[in-house]
A and B are shown apart, each in its own frame.
Chain A
C-alpha cells in the first residue's frame, strides 16, 4: 500500500448503510451448488470425517491398497467439534464419521447419522462381546456402529523428568509447576478433577460436586502451563520440553518415542476416561454400501493388527490381538480385563452447565 492509498483511509466518518431492498438476491445462494457428492456417487471414494489418527497417510494408503477405496479425510479434535461441523453443513459433505460411544444417541436423535446393516458387518464375530453388543451403539433398535477400537485418555509423561507416574496426583503436584498440560475439554478435565476428588461417577455430578471440581481446577491453574485443544499441541509441548506431564491422547506416544523422547503412558490408579469408536455413516450419504464395506474392514483382524502396530491403540477384535506377539501386547498394555478400571465417557446431565463451569475455570 502506498501513500496515496493510505490517504484514502484517513477519517471520512463511518459508513451509513442503507440496508433495504434485494432480499431476493439471497435466493441466489439457496439455489447454489447442489451436492457434488451425488455426481460422484459411483466412484470409490469416501469423505471421511475423523480423528487425525484414523485418517493418517498410512491408513489412507492401506484402504487404497486393500479395498481400492480413496479415503478423503478431514479431522476434528473433539466430539463437540464433530457434532458442530456435522450440524453446520457437514451432513452434506461427509460420508462417514468415527464417533465416541456417548455421542451416538444425541447424533441419532438430531438426525446426523445413519444406521448400518448388521448383516454387512461379518467381522463382528471377532469383536469383544462388551463392545459388539453395547447398548450405547443402538438407538431405537437400530445399529449405529460396532467399535473397532477402544482405549482411554490418560497421562502421558516424560520419564526422564518425572520417573514413573501412576496417579492423577502428578497433574496436581507443585513439583511440576508450569510443566503440566491439561485438555481444553470439560468432558475430560472436569471428569479427572472429579476422580481426583474421589467422586465415583463423574458424569452424574450434581451442582455441589461441580463447584468442588471448579474450586480444585482453579486452585490447580498456577501449576498448569496450557490447556491443549488439539493433539499436536500436547505432542509438541511434550516433545519440546514445555511440559513433562500431561493429560493426553495415546496417539502422542508413538511419535514422541520416534522423536527420541522417553515418553511414558499410564492409566492413573484413580481411573482413566474410557471410550470406544466405530465407523458410522453420516445421514444421507449416497455411499452407504461403501461405508459398510469400510466399517467391516475396520473390524477385520488385518486392520486391527495394522492399527495396533502403527498407533499403539487397542483393537476391539480378538482375532487382531491374536496376530500380535505376546510381548507387543504386553508392551501396548492391551488387556480387556482392564476395562473395569475405566470410567466410560457419558453425556453429563447438564452439558451446557459443564461447559460454563469450564469457561469459568479458564476465565478465573
Chain B
C-alpha cells in the first residue's frame, strides 16, 4: 500500500459526521436530567424527577403496552410472511424473482405519510373501525420489505444442494423448510424480527393516521409535543434512544454472525 495523505482528513471528517449524528441524541439525554421546567441551555441542576413523574404516569404504561402489542404482532406477521416470501422468491421465483422482489420492496419507495393516508382512505371507504388492528396492518406493510431484504441477503449464501439432498431423501416441502432452510435462516430471522420490532416500536406517521383511541409510545411523545411540552418528553425520548440502541446492537450482532457463518 502507498502512503495515503487523504486518509487522516477522511478520518477526521468521519468523526465529525458521527458527532453530528450523535450530538442531538446526547443533548436530549442531557436535558432529561435538567432541573428547570423549561428546556433551555445552559442546564441548571441535576434531577431524576422527570423520570419519576414519567414512571408514575399511567398513560405511559398504557402506551407502552399498546406499543408492545403492536410491535410483537407486527414482528410475528411480517417475519412469517417475509421469510416465506424470501424463500418463495429464492426457490420458485425463477426469471420473475427480480420482479417479485421489486414488488415486495415497493413500500420502501413510498413515504410513510402516503402509506398512512392511503390506509386511512381505504379504511374510510369501508367504514372500518380504527384500532390497534388497523395500525398493525400498516406496520406490516412498512416492515415487510425489510424482512424480505434481510432474508434474501442471507439466502444468497444458501447452498441449494442441501435442499435437493433432503428432497432426494424423501422429505416434503415443508419438512425441508423446517429442517433445512429455517435453521440456516435463523440469524436472519432474528435480525429481521428485531428490525421490524424497532421500526414498529418507533413509528409515528403511519400510526397517526391509522389508530383509533389507542396511543402508542411514539404517539404519546407526539401528543406531548402537541399539547404540553414538559421535560418528561426528554426522559421518554432518552429511554427510547437507549432501548432502540440496545435492540440495534443485538440485531446487528446476530446479522453479523450470520454473515461470518456464510462466508466461505
Query: Taking beta carbons and an 8 Å cutoff, which residues of A are in contact with B?
Result: 1-5, 7-9, 12-17, 26, 29-30, 32-36, 47, 52, 72, 74-75, 77, 88-89, 92-94, 229-233, 235-236, 239-241, 255, 258-261
Is B22 an interface residue, CB under 8 A from the partner?
Answer: no
Q: Is the CB of A8 within 8 A of B101?
A: yes
Q: Are B228 and A255 in contact, CB atoms less than 8 angstroms apart?
A: yes
14 residue pairs from A and B, CB less than 8 Å apart: A2-B256, A3-B259, A4-B153, A8-B153, A9-B105, A26-B122, A89-B128, A92-B127, A93-B213, A230-B226, A232-B229, A240-B38, A260-B37, A261-B38
Asked whether, in the complex, the Cβ of A93 is within 8 Å of the Cβ of B150, the reply is no
Write the nearest CB–CB distance from A14 to chain B, whole angstroms: 7
Number of A-B residue pairs with CB-CB distance less than 8 Å in the complex they form: 122
Judged by a CB distance under 8 angstroms, whether B130 is at the interface is: yes
Indicate with 1 or 0, residue by residue over B142-165, a CB within 8 angstroms of chain A CB atoms: 000010011011101100000000
B153→A7 contact, CB < 8 A: yes
Q: Classify the interface of chain B: helix, strand, loop or mixed.
A: helix
Assess the A259–B37 pair: CB atoms within 8 A.
yes
Residues of B near A2 (CB, < 8 A) are: 153, 252, 255-256, 259
Within the assembled complex, what's the spacing in Å between the Cα atoms of A261 and B154? 58
Determine whether B212 belongs to the interface, using a CB cutoff of 8 Å to chain A.
yes
Asked if B127 and A77 make an inter-chain contact with CB atoms under 8 angstroms apart, the answer reads no
The A-contacting residues of B in range 221-264, CB under 8 angstroms, are 223-229, 252, 255-256, 259
**What are the interface flags for B105-136 relative to A under an 8 Å C-beta threshold, 1 for contact and 0 otherwise?**
11001000000000010111011111101000
> A2-B259, A8-B149, A89-B123 known; 15 other A-B pairs, CB under 8 Å?
A1-B150, A15-B103, A15-B105, A17-B103, A29-B122, A32-B128, A32-B129, A32-B133, A52-B227, A88-B124, A89-B124, A89-B212, A92-B130, A229-B226, A235-B228
Docked Cα-Cα span, A229 to B38, in Å, equals 20
Shortest Cβ distance from residue A255 to the other chain B in the assembled complex, whole angstroms: 7
**Of all chain B residues, which has the CB nearest A16?**
B99
Q: In the bound complex, how far is the Cα of B143 from the Cα of A226, in angstroms?
A: 35
Q: Is the C-beta of B39 less than 8 angstroms from some C-beta in chain A?
A: yes
Contact present for B38 and A259 (CB under 8 Å): yes
Known: A2-B259, A240-B40. A77 touches B213 (CB 8 A): no
Chain A hits for B98, CB < 8 A: 12-13
CB contacts (< 8 Å) of B47 on chain A: these are: none
Residues of A within 8 A of B195 (CB): 1
Question: Is the CB–CB distance between A230 and B227 below 8 Å?
Answer: yes
B52 within 8 Å of A (CB atoms) = no
Which residues of chain B from 76 to 106 have any CB-CB distance to chain A below 8 Å in the complex?
A: 98-99, 101-103, 105-106
A30 in contact with B127 given A4-B153, A8-B153, A259-B38 (CB within 8 Å)? yes
Expressed in whole angstroms, the minimum distance between the Cβ of B228 and any Cβ of chain A is 5
Say whether B126 contacts A93, CB under 8 Å.
no
Whether B37 contacts A89 by the Cβ 8 Å rule is no
A27, closest chain B residue (CB): B126
Chain B residues within an 8 Å CB radius of A241: 40
In angstroms, how far is the closest chain B Cβ from the Cβ of A240? Answer: 5
Q: Is the CB of A93 within 8 A of B129?
A: yes
Contact indicator A240/B227 (Cβ below 8 Å): no
Distance, CA A231 to CA B225, complexed state (A): 9
Residues of A within 8 A of B122 (CB): 26, 29
Question: Is the Cβ of A89 less than 8 Å from the Cβ of B130?
Answer: yes
Using CB atoms and an 8 Å cutoff, list the residues of chain B in contact with chain A. 37-40, 98-99, 101-103, 105-106, 109, 120, 122-124, 126-131, 133, 146, 149-150, 152-154, 156-157, 195, 212-213, 223-229, 252, 255-256, 259
Residues of B within 8 A of A8 (CB): 101, 149, 152-153
Instruction: Known contacts A35-B129, A259-B37, A259-B38; decide if A75 and B102 are in contact (CB<8 Å).
Output: no
List residues of chain B with CB within 8 A of the CB of A239. 38
Bound together, the chains give a CA A120 to CA B110 distance in angstroms of 51
State whether A4 and B156 are in contact (beta carbons under 8 Å apart), knowing that A29-B123, A230-B226, A232-B226 are contacts in the complex: yes
Complex Cα gap A92–B157 (Å): 50
User: Once the chains are docked, how many angstroms separate the CA of A12 from the CA of B133?
Assistant: 33
Hey, which chain A residues are within 8 Å of B131, CB to CB? 33, 36
Q: A93-B212, A235-B229 are in contact. Are A12 and B102 (CB under 8 A)?
A: yes
Contact A14 B129 (CB under 8 A): no
CB of A13 within 8 A of CB of B129, answer no
Asked if residues A33 and B153 are in contact (CB atoms below 8 Å), the reply is no
Complex CA gap A229/B222 in Å reads: 13
**B101 engages A30 (CB within 8 Å):** no
Q: What 7 A-B pairs are tightest by C-beta distance, nearest first?
A: A15-B102, A4-B153, A52-B227, A230-B226, A30-B126, A15-B103, A5-B153
Are A5 and B223 interface neighbours, CB within 8 A? Answer: no
In-complex Cβ contact of A12 among B37, B101, B225 (8 A): B101
CA distance A255 to B131 in the complex (A): 33
Q: Evaluate contact between A15 and B99: CB separation under 8 angstroms.
A: yes
Give the distance to chain A from B193, nearest Cβ to Cβ, in Å. 14
**Which residues of the partner chain B approach A12 to less than 8 Å between Cβ atoms?**
98, 101-102
Complex: A153 Cα to B225 Cα, angstroms: 21
A125 CB, min distance to chain B CBs, angstroms:
34
Report the separation of the CA atoms of residues A2 and B101 in the bound assembly, to the nearest whole angstrom. 18
Q: Which residues of chain A are near B39, meaning CB under 8 Å?
A: 240
Cβ-closest chain B residue relative to A33: B129
Question: How far apart are the CA atoms of A88 and B195 in the complex, in Å?
Answer: 31
The answer for the CA separation of A17 and B224 in the assembled complex, in Å, is 40
Residues of A within 8 A of B101 (CB): 8, 12
Q: How far is the CA of A92 from the CA of B131 in the complex (A)?
A: 11
Given contacts A232-B229, A240-B38, whether A89 and B259 have CB atoms under 8 Å apart is no
A75 to chain B, nearest CB (A): 5
Complex Cα spacing A152 to B106, Å: 49
